[in-house]
Amino acid sequence: MNEKQKLASEIVDYVAVVGAKNSHIQGVAKRLLELVTPAKKEFSIMDVINAELNERVKHNEL
């Protein structure tokens, strides 16, 4: 697992525990992602997070 995948997994864990409907948590996560995501990459950390979420939903982990 690369560093982006590790970070995505940690964020998914946190949001799953706290609750994705909490707008404050969403705002904090968005700002964090803006800080850690370089502007010019082939894929963003959000792509990695979405992939992680999709995998967990597919395996009924959320």
**Residue 61 CB contacts under 8 Å (≥ 6 apart), including other chains:** 55
How far is residue 40's CA from residue 29's CA, in Å, rounded to a whole number?
A: 20
Q: What is the pLDDT of residue 18?
A: 67
Per-residue pLDDT tens over the stretch 23-55: 776 677 777 777 766 655 556 677 778 888 888
Asked if the model's pLDDT at residue 58 lies above 80, the reply is yes
pTM for the structure as a whole? 0.38
The number of distinct structural domains making up the chain is: 1
Domain region containing 38: 3-58
Confidence category of residue 19, pLDDT binned at 50, 70, 90: low
